Amino acid sequence: MKRIILPLIAMFFVSNLVAQQDSKPSKTQFMIRGYGSAGFQALNDEGEKESSFNNGTFAPIILFKFSDKFMFETEMEFAYENGELETALEYANAMYTVNKYITIRAGKFLLPYGTFMERLHPSWINKLSSVPLGFGHDGITPSSGVGVELRGAFILNGSRFNYALYSTNGPTLNDGNDEPEEAGILHFDNYEDNNKNKSVGGRIGFLPFTDSSTEVGFSFLNAKVGDKDSNYKDVSSNLIAYDFSFVKKVNSLGGIIDIKAQYNTSVTDDANYIEVHEDGDEEEYTFENSSDSFYAQLSFKPTMSASNFLKNIELVGRYSELNTPEGAEWESNVNQTAFGVNYWLSWRSAIKVNYQITDGTGGHGGGRIDNKIFTIQWAFGI
């Protein structure tokens, strides 16, 4: 890990040194940005209580701008979990601006599947310290992909539109051979394709009002997901998401109202999987492989208050739910309600105090899910 961190630190100081020595801006620009967080968590999981200062995370973003049209960007993530330093490559891609309406990206990039993972998940932007159900680990939505993408935005007679169209390696189907309890689940982190088919996906966003306060979006992703040369080679998945955003300073309320919502569906062709019983007997089974998830979030920040303290306070509430297929080993019906009070130290740094209740059935344990989490998180962008 030192092999990664030390060069990063060295690059940061060298770039600053060079910048100080030469005040004339260079055509090639290099910049390290990113975000991080640290916090405390108290968990009550069906009566079992535990608490801990939890993992600090740091996600440096490196931007390398070669010209007005050409840029490379990458984001890594470092987190300390279970006594070990975990690392991940969130994205690493080159982008080229073809013209005013088209930019092409290639490499690993955040997928424009809805808006949460692409725009809202960084801890200094996310208004709560967790992600909604359906996203992240064990989620049904993709976060990034390796491939190529065209994207852009345009104004048509006073209405704004934005679009993205991409092709990636696509999701892979867990056929249950190695992990029978996950048979039928889709995995999205694929650096190498498991078949010849490439996924096709995209999103179109529409901002109907002149003040850009409202955006509605439609996303899709379609791919064959089974391993080539396997019984699952013809199994396809079709993912669809609808997203909504409303953000506006409302004078009568004295502050900024922010509403976000996203509905995701995932439908995979029916297939037969093998269940191995305790006595070693094998039994074939199938199920309707459809999942969906939803979240809606409302926040209010009284930015017009006369009090400097109140101006920096933000109240947040979020409801989310996740329903995975009936009959699958990973069947679940879960809902989650989260509340938060944030205090913004600056435009990019907040102390978040959250309380989250998760309730439902299923998951990998197969039983009842009933937990409550209290968290305090300090999140900051750099």
Partner 1 sequence: MKTFKIVSIIGFISFATISCSPERATIVQGKSGVQLWSETCMRCHNTPSPADFNDADWSTIEMHMRVRANLTADESKKIFDFLRSAN
Q: Which residues bind partner 1 (CB under 8 A)?
A: 19, 25-26, 29-31, 33, 63, 65, 68, 71, 73, 95, 97, 100-101, 103, 105, 112, 118-120, 124-125, 151-164, 204-206, 208-213, 215-216, 218, 240, 242, 245, 247, 256, 258, 265, 267, 344, 347-348, 381
- Longest CA–CA span in the chain (Å) reads 74
CB of 147 to partner 1, least distance (A): 16
CB of 40 to partner 1, least distance (A): 23
Place of tokens 């303290």: 309
Nearer to partner 1, 82 or 99 (CB): 99
Nearer to partner 1, 174 or 291 (CB): 291
Nearer to partner 1, 210 or 308 (CB): 210
Question: 3-state secondary structure string, the chain?
Answer: CHHHHHHHHHHHHHHHHHHHHCCCCCCCEEEEEEEEEEEEEEEEECCEEEEEEEEEEEEEEEEEECCCCEEEEEEEEEEEECCEEEEEEEEEEEEEECCCCCEEEEEEEECCCCCHHHHHCCCCCCCCCCCCCCCCCCCCCCCEEEEEEEEEEEEECCEEEEEEEEEECCCEECCCCCCHHHCCCEECCCCCCCCCCCEEEEEEEEECCCCCCEEEEEEEEEEECCCCCCCCCCCEEEEEEEEEEEEEEECCCCEEEEEEEEEEEEEECCCCEEEECCCCCEEEECCCEEEEEEEEEEEEECCCCCCHHHHCEEEEEEEEEEECCCCCCCCEEEEEEEEEEEEEEECCEEEEEEEEEEEEEECCCCCEEEEEEEEEEEEEEC
Q: Give 363-368's long-range contacts (Cβ < 8 A, gap of 24+).
A: 363/138, 363/330, 363/332, 363/334, 364/138, 364/181, 364/330, 366/329, 368/46
Nearer to partner 1, 103 or 358 (CB): 103
Nearer to partner 1, 78 or 163 (CB): 163
CB of 233 to partner 1, least distance (A): 25
Nearer to partner 1, 42 or 94 (CB): 94
CB of 1 to partner 1, least distance (A): 26
Nearer to partner 1, 95 or 373 (CB): 95
Give the span between the Cα atoms of 305 and 131, in whole angstroms. Answer: 29
CB of 346 to partner 1, least distance (A): 8
CB of 155 to partner 1, least distance (A): 6
CB of 12 to partner 1, least distance (A): 13
Nearer to partner 1, 111 or 369 (CB): 111
Nearer to partner 1, 16 or 51 (CB): 16
CB of 294 to partner 1, least distance (A): 14
CB of 41 to partner 1, least distance (A): 24
